[in-house]
Amino acid sequence: MKRTLMLSLALTPLLLSACGAEEAPSDTNQSESATTDAWQRVEGDEMVSHIHGAGFWQDDERPVIATHAGLMEYREDGWYTLPTNRHDYMGFEVVEDGFYASGHPDRRTDFKNPLGVMHGKNHGAVLESRSLEGEADFHYMSAGYATGTLYVYLEEATSELEPGFYRSIDGGSSFEPMQVQGIEEAQVAGIVADATDAERVFFYGPSGILVSNDSGDSFEPLVEAEQVVTVGADEGQLAYVRQTDGSFEGVRFNLDDESTETFNLPELQADAVPIELAVKEERMLLVTSDNSVYEFTDGEWEMRLNKGELN
C-alpha cells in the first residue's frame, strides 16, 4: 500500500494479513432451518484475533464481526459465537440476503482450503460455495448490500484466472476482469462496492478515494489528497476514516451532492489503526488493528471489545 500501483494492489499487512486455518470445535450441520438460537454466549478467557470484516445483521441489526475462528455477534449481555462454520473468514461483508466471505476453513469441516467465494445465510448457519473453493482466498472482496455485485482482487492465479481485479454480477459464481483504467498513479489499499448502484465501486488508500461508474473499467478521483485508511458504504453515502498528522478523523460523504460532514471517533488505544468501518444509517461499527471494536449508536461511541478480550 505504500508504493504506486500499476494494476496490482500494494497491500498493507496491518490491514489484512493472511491467516492459517483455525482448528476450533465445529459442526458441519448446515440445515436451512437453523436460526440464531444456535448461538452461544462466549464464556471464560477466550480472545478474539484477526478481525477481517464487520457489519450489522439485516433483521435484528446486531453487530457482527468475522474473526480467525468464525463469526461473532454482540448482544446486550456480551458476545456470542456460532458453534458451526467456525472458519477463518476473510473479505466478509453483510448483504441484503446474507453475507459473502472467503478465507480458510475450520479443519474439522469438509470445506476445501481456501474457501473461494462463500455465500452465507441464517446468520452463518448455512454456507454455500459459489466458486473457486480450494483455489482462491480473497482478502480484498466487497459486495454491494442491495445488489450483491462482487468486486475483488485476486492475488494468486487459479486454474482459470490470472491475478488482477474482477467483478461478479451473479453472486460470485463467475468473474470477469475489470479494466481499471485511471488508477496508474494511485495507491490502493482497499475496495468498496456501492451499497445500491451495481456499477459503482470505490478504491481507497493513501492518495484518497477513486470512483468508477462503469463496473470498474475506468476510475476518477472522488476524494483527493487525503490518507484514507478504511471506508464503509451505505445507501447514498460513504463513511471513511482519514489520517492527518498521526491522528484519525471520520468523514461522511454524501454521494448525491458530494457534501461532507466530519464526525468524532472514539478514543483509540495507542498505536491502534482503524481497519474496518461498517455504516448503517446513523449507526457505525469500527474495528481497529488491536482487535478493539466500537459501536456508534444513539449518538455516542461504546466500546464492545477491548483489544480482543471478551471478559
**57-111: per-residue pLDDT in tens?**
999 999 999 999 999 999 999 999 999 999 999 999 999 999 999 999 999 999 9
Per-residue pLDDT at 120 = 98
246, with CB counted inside 10 A (0-12, 13-18, 19+), is: exposed
Integer Cα distance of 289 and 15 in angstroms: 7
pLDDT at 183 over 50: yes
pLDDT at 190 over 90: yes
Pair 50, 88: CB distance under 8 Å: yes
**Cell 451505505, residue?**
234
Nearest to 264 by CA among 245, 278, 247: 247
- Average pLDDT over the chain, rounded to whole? 89
Integer Cα distance of 245 and 284 in angstroms: 24
Per-residue pLDDT at 46 = 84
Neighbour count for residue 111 (Cβ, 10 Å): 21
Pair 87, 140: CB distance under 8 Å: no
What are the residues whose beta carbons fall under 8 Å from the beta carbon of 173, sequence distance 6 or more?
130, 131
Handedness of CA 239, 64, 141, 275 (dihedral sign): positive
Integer Cα distance of 305 and 311 in angstroms: 9
pLDDT per residue as tens digits for the range 258-304: 999 999 999 999 999 999 999 999 999 999 999 999 999 999 999 99
Q: Quick one: average pLDDT of 127-141?
A: 98
Handedness of CA 178, 55, 105, 305 (dihedral sign): positive
pLDDT at 19 over 60: no
Per-residue pLDDT at 2 = 29
Measured between its terminal Cα atoms, the distance across the chain in Å is: 35
Neighbour count for residue 129 (Cβ, 10 Å): 16
pLDDT at 229 over 70: yes
Q: How confident is the model at residue 127 (pLDDT cuts 50, 70, 90)?
A: very high
Least confident segment among 34-48, 74-88, 217-231, 276-290: 34-48
Per-residue pLDDT at 199 = 98
Pair 52, 92: CB distance under 8 Å: yes
pLDDT at 17 over 60: no
Pair 90, 83: CB distance under 8 Å: no
Q: How confident is the model at residue 23 (pLDDT cuts 50, 70, 90)?
A: very low
What are the residues whose beta carbons fall under 8 Å from the beta carbon of 87, sequence distance 6 or more?
21, 22, 70, 101, 103, 104, 105, 106, 109, 111, 115
Neighbour count for residue 91 (Cβ, 10 Å): 26
Per-residue pLDDT at 185 = 87
Comparing 9 with 43, the larger pLDDT belongs to: 43
Q: Quick one: average pLDDT of 228-236?
A: 98
Q: Quick one: average pLDDT of 6-30?
A: 39
pLDDT per residue as tens digits for the range 161-179: 999 999 999 999 999 999 9
